[in-house]
Each structure stands twice: as structure tokens, then as C-alpha cells.
Amino acid sequence: MTIKMSKRPCGFCTTGDHHYCGVVGQEHKYQCPCGCEHSTDKRCKVCGNTQANEVRDETWTCADAGECMRVVNRKREEIRHTLHPQGLPVKAPSGKMCHCECGEQTGGGLFKPGHADKLAKATAARVISGELDYETAVEQLTTISDGLLKKLDARL
């Protein structure tokens, strides 16, 4: 196997993430592509474990897969806590309220998914029952969106 060695440090060297780095070279050793001093004996490709008796020769993974995943999850939680000590940021609401008057916020449009049909259905039911005349319904719906008129007409 030929390994290209560079004079510049690789991305793994510059970020310090050498447990993700390396090319398997001769004699089961990791060799960093940039030729730095980080080449070590075999280690688990998943969690970075370097205990030779705990890493399988044929797969380069830990013999105890459960412990391996616990180590990975622990590292992820440490990173997440370092980046977001108060918890993950919550996406700010868009500020637009759904026009069907459900009281929920939309993702940026006039309605939440399915709520335009819900409004058209409710308005059609009011027109059919006589509670609302057709002209008033048309006026109310077209002030929100012209597409609602087509939905109303399809229901009547």
C-alpha cells in the first residue's frame, strides 16, 4: 500500500481528532497521511481504543461492541456539553400565526400543513348549514389567499 505523505498537517492533525485519522499501513499500524508523529499501533476505528488485546485484528473494532458504543456516546455528550452548556439551541419561532385560527405558529407560510384544507372545510360547512352566506365566505377567504376560494368551491 502506498501512502502519500505531505509536508502540511492533515485536517485531523490541525483539529486534534486523530482517533478518526489514519491509513492502515504495513504491520497493522495507522499512518497519518501527513507523516506526523501520530502513527500508532492498531486501534479501534470506532472509538479509538488502543488496547491491543481489546481490538480485533480482522475488523479493527473493539471486541466488546457495547462498551465501544458507550465510549462513543460518552464522547459525543462531552462534546455536546462543551459546545452547548445550557443545552442545544432551540429554533426561534417564525412569528407567523396560522390563518386557520388554531393558534399555532407556521414554518413561515400562511398555514401549517393541512390547515388550509381544514379552514376551507369548516367554511364550507358553515355555508351549507346557512350560518354563513357564500359571498361573505368568499370575501373572508380571498383576503387570506386566493387558493382558498378554489378549495371552498371544490367542497360545495
Is the pLDDT confidence value at 69 over 70?
Answer: yes
**pLDDT computed for residue 95 by the predictor:** 66
Task: Pick the range with the lowest mean pLDDT from 27-31, 118-122, 128-132.
Answer: 27-31
What whole-number percentage of the chain has pLDDT above 70?
A: 68
Q: Does any domain span residue 2?
A: no
85-118 per-position pLDDT tens digit: 777 666 665 568 888 878 888 878 888 888 999 9
- Same domain membership, residue 134 and residue 100: yes
Domain boundary among 83, 101, 118: 83
Q: Residues with Cβ < 8 Å from 34, sequence gap 6 or more? A: 5, 6, 7, 8, 9, 10, 13
**Greater model confidence, 119 or 91:** 119
Per the structure block, which three cell numbers stand in for 68?
A: 465501544
* Domain housing 143: 91-156
